[in-house]
Amino acid sequence: MSYRTALSEVLSTVIEPAAEATGAKVRFPRASVTALGRAGLLGLTVSTEFGGGGMGLPDAAEVVARIAGVSPATAAVLQSHYAAVAVIESYGSAWLRGEVAAGRHLGSLALAEDTPGEQGVQGEFWAARSTAARSGDVVALRARKHQVVAAGEADSYVWSSRPLGAADGLTLWVVPAHAPDLFVPARPDGGGPGGSATSTVFADPVLVPADAMLGRDGGGLDIVLRTVLPWLLELQTAVGSEAVHPAVAEVPRRAAHRAADSLAAS
């Protein structure tokens, strides 16, 4: 069965019937996410080597666009998931890639933080101010992450921090959502389409294994500009105004493109 056929079935049998409750009643579309996983659509962009669909950004954009017309919240969740999976595909463990491919794992992004001196105002999410401190094989991450889609609902977050030892840049981690000492408010407070569970995630601190690092220490800025931003912007272009991803809404498009172009030319 092609992914387009699978998507049509999930749209008609699960997403459309749940759309009103998701939006009007602000309920996270758990049944829709589960159905998308079972249909192979959460793992659409994972390599076939790990059981995924082996598809790329244009295919993910088509899926998100079709869903956005029915359920903006579900589309926003998928935007964040696909952008997170793009990072996991390049730097995540074989086990994690297999879990995503099998439809058992929903990823999300936890990159945006407060602007200094303006609590609750989102800053550029390629300028991490959260800290990371290593003790043996364990790293303590302290942060207040904003505009996290599927906060408390995802299985993991692609998380940014200052580097452990590098002079500049930022470092990315995969943080399990069930990790002790992660706190998400009972009521979402981060905007986004109703039902997308967009909220703040607090870590004070959260402990992760040192091998949860994605890429090299200090190399996260390259990953954000070369992978995360292009995926988010392309997915946002696909859905238009139907499901504005909160992270993209805060990023001036021209500035983001200039940053990406500048990095690519370096």
The DSSP secondary structure of 156-202, one letter per residue, reads: EEEEEE--SS-SSSBEEEEEETT-TTEE--SS--S-SSTTS--EEEE
Section 17-39 average pLDDT:
88
Q: Are residues 186 and 96 in the same domain?
A: no
Q: Are residues 16 and 82 in the same domain?
A: yes
Range ranked top by mean pLDDT from 41-45, 195-199, 218-222, 235-239? 41-45
Q: Are residues 137 and 68 in the same domain?
A: no
Q: Are residues 7 and 35 in the same domain?
A: yes
Q: Are residues 226 and 215 in the same domain?
A: no
Q: Are residues 127 and 198 in the same domain?
A: yes
Q: Are residues 90 and 128 in the same domain?
A: no
Which pLDDT score, from 0 to 100, does residue 87 have?
Answer: 98
Section 224-233 average pLDDT:
91
* pLDDT exceeds cutoff 60 at 246: no
Q: Are residues 68 and 168 in the same domain?
A: no
Per the structure, the count of domains in the chain is 2
Decide: residue 199, CB within 10 A, 0-12 exposed, 13-18 middle, 19+ buried: buried
Entry pTM: 0.89
CATH code at 227? 1.10.540.10
Q: Which of 188, 205, 101, 106 is nearest to 148 (CA)?
A: 188
CATH code at 160? 2.40.110.10
* pLDDT exceeds cutoff 70 at 241: no
Q: Are residues 46 and 98 in the same domain?
A: yes
pLDDT greater at residue 1 or residue 121: 1
pLDDT greater at residue 219 or residue 251: 219
Q: Using CA atoms, how far apart are residues 152 and 154, in angstroms rounded to an integer? A: 6
- Full domain range(s) for residue 15: 3-105+221-265
Which pLDDT score, from 0 to 100, does residue 189 have?
Answer: 63
Residues 184-195: tens digit of each pLDDT: 887 766 677 888
Q: Are residues 61 and 138 in the same domain?
A: no
Q: Using CA atoms, how far apart are residues 50 and 69, in angstroms rounded to an integer? A: 31
Q: Are residues 117 and 242 in the same domain?
A: no
CA 19 to chain centre: 21
Q: Are residues 125 and 84 in the same domain?
A: no
Choosing from 181, 198, 219, the residue where a domain stops is 219
* pLDDT exceeds cutoff 90 at 212: yes
